[in-house]
Amino acid sequence: MTADGDGVAGVRHHADWSVHGLAAAKAGRRVSVVLPARDEEATVGGIVARLRAELVEDVPLVDELVVIDSDSSDATAEVARRAGASVHAAAAIRPDLGARRGKGEALWKSQFVTTGDLVVFVDSDLVDWGPHFVTGLLGPLLTDPATALVKAVYDRPMLDPAGREVEQGGRVTELVARPLLALHHPGLAGIVQPLSGEWAIRRDVLEQLSVPVGYGVEIAALVDTATLCGPEAIAQVDLGRRTHRHHRHDTLGPMAVQVLAAVEARLGASHPRSTSAALRQFDRTTTGFTPRETTVDLTERPPAVTVEGYAGCLEEVCG
C-alpha cells in the first residue's frame, strides 16, 4: 500500500514492530494510552481489559491506561474502572479551567492527568480492533526521533445489522475532511484517514497545540503538527480493519461543522475564529418541515504549555 502525498511519508504496517521490541525501545520513556468515552459502557470495558492484560501486565509497554469520561450518563466510568483503567471525569479535571462538552475537550483535559512522554489516543466505541492498534501507533514514535505524530490507517467497513459489509465508512472524511485538505493543505493529502480517532503524539508537541473542544481535534492536530514540525514528521501505520458504532447521517452535521471550522480557523485573518455556529436541520412533520437547531461549539482550548500549573515539558520542539 502506498499513499505518498506531497510531504507525508508512505504507510508502514503494524506488523513492522513487535511488542517486545517496542518495550525495549522505550529507553526510559513513558507511554500513556488515553480513551475518551461518552456513553461507551458497551465497549470501553473490553478495550481497557485487553490493553491492560497484553500491554501493561504481559509486556510493560504502556505505563498508564486512562479513560476520560466525557459527561457520560451511563456506567462508562464504573465499567472502565473495573476493567483496570484510571478514570477521570473530564469536567472534574482542573475545574478552575471550566468545562466544555466534546471529544476535543476530553483529549485536552487528559494532558493534566497523564505523565507519558508519548500519548496514544484510542476511541472507546471500537468493535473490530486489537492491541496492535497501540503497538502500531507507537512503532514510529519509539524508533524514529523525527516522528512527531502517527495516524492510524485502516479498512473501515460499514456493516448492516446482519454484519454484512455494505460500503466503506468515513462519510465526514470523504465529504468534508479530504476536500478541505485538497483545497487548503495539499501537502497533507497523503493522509489516508485524516479523522482517525486512533493516533499517537509526542507530548512535547501535543502540549504546543491549540485544541478544538469538539470533533475538530483530529484535523487541527494534523494541520498544526505539520505547521510546527513539517508534514514529514507525520507517520501513518496500517492497522488492518476497524469497525465501530456509526452515527446517523444527520448527527454527522455538527461534526462536519466542527471539522470545517477547525480548518477555517487555521486559514488566517480572513477567517476569524467563531465560538459557535447555529446548524439548522429539518424534520418532516404533519405540518411541513420543522426546523431543529443545534448550537455547535467551536471553542478552542489553548496549548497546555501556556496554562498555569501545567506540569509538562517546556522545551522548544521541532527545531
Ligand X SMILES: O=c1ccn([C@@H]2O[C@H](COP(=O)(O)OP(=O)(O)O[C@H]3O[C@H](CO)[C@@H](O)[C@H](O)[C@H]3O)[C@@H](O)[C@H]2O)c(=O)[nH]1
Ligand Y SMILES: O=C(O)[C@H](O)COP(=O)(O)O
| Interacting residue ranges for ligand X, rule: CB under 6 A | 36-38, 40, 70, 101-103, 106, 123-125, 195, 197, 215, 217-218, 244, 247, 255, 259
Q: Looking at beta carbons, which residue is closest to ligand X? A: 197
Find the part of the chain contacting ligand Y (CB under 6 A) among 18-26, 61-69, 99-107, 165-173. Answer: 165-173
Give the nearer residue to ligand Y in terms of CB position, either 58 or 167.
Answer: 167
- In the complex, least distance from residue 207 CB atom to ligand Y, rounded to whole angstroms: 25
Residue 32, by phi and psi: left (phi above 0), alpha (psi -120 to 50) or beta? Answer: beta
Give the nearer residue to ligand X in terms of CB position, either 47 or 317.
Answer: 47
Identified binder of ligand Y from the candidate list 84, 170, 230, 240, rule CB under 6 A: 170
∠ at Cα 155 (154, 161), nearest 5°? Answer: 130
User: Kind and range of the H or E element at 158?
Assistant: strand 157-159
Q: Cα Rg for the chain, rounded, in angstroms?
A: 19
Give the nearer residue to ligand X in terms of CB position, either 23 or 173.
Answer: 173
Q: Looking at beta carbons, which residue is closest to ligand Y? A: 169
The CA–CA distances, whole Å, from 208 to 46, 123, 164, 211, 302 equal 32, 22, 43, 9, 8
- Residue 155 interacts with ligand Y (CB under 6 A): yes or no: no
Backbone angles phi, psi at 94, to 5 degrees: 40, 65
The DSSP line for 231-242 is: GGGEEEEEEEE-
C-alpha to C-alpha distance for 315 and 313, rounded to whole angstroms: 6
Give the nearer residue to ligand Y in terms of CB position, either 170 or 187.
Answer: 170
CA 193 centroid distance within chain:
11
CB under 5 to 8 A by kind: which of ligand Y, ligand X, none does 204 bind?
A: none
Which grid coordinates belong to 208?
504546543
- Residue 171 interacts with ligand Y (CB under 6 A): yes or no: yes
Name the residue with cell 517546556. 314
Identified binder of ligand Y from the candidate list 107, 195, 206, 211, rule CB under 6 A: 195
Give the nearer residue to ligand X in terms of CB position, either 208 or 258.
Answer: 258
Backbone angles phi, psi at 69, to 5 degrees: -80, 115
Upper half-sphere CA count for residue 48 (Cβ side, 13 Å) = 28
Give the nearer residue to ligand X in terms of CB position, either 13 or 171.
Answer: 171
> What is the pattern of x (binds ligand Y, CB under 6 A) and - over residues 237-276?
---------xx----x------------------------
CB under 5 to 8 A by kind: which of ligand X, ligand Y, none does 114 bind?
A: none
- Residue 102 interacts with ligand Y (CB under 6 A): yes or no: no
Count of positions on this chain that bind ligand Y (CB under 6 A): 11
Backbone angles phi, psi at 95, to 5 degrees: -60, -20
CB under 5 to 8 A by kind: which of ligand Y, ligand X, none does 243 bind?
A: none
CB under 5 to 8 A by kind: which of ligand X, ligand Y, none does 103 bind?
A: ligand X
- 88-110: b (≥16 Cβ within 10 Å) or e: bbbbebbeebeebebbbbbbbbb
Identified binder of ligand Y from the candidate list 5, 104, 139, 169, rule CB under 6 A: 169
CB 191 within 8 A of CB 151: yes
Using CB under 6 A, list all residues that contact ligand Y. Answer: 156, 158, 169-173, 195, 246-247, 252
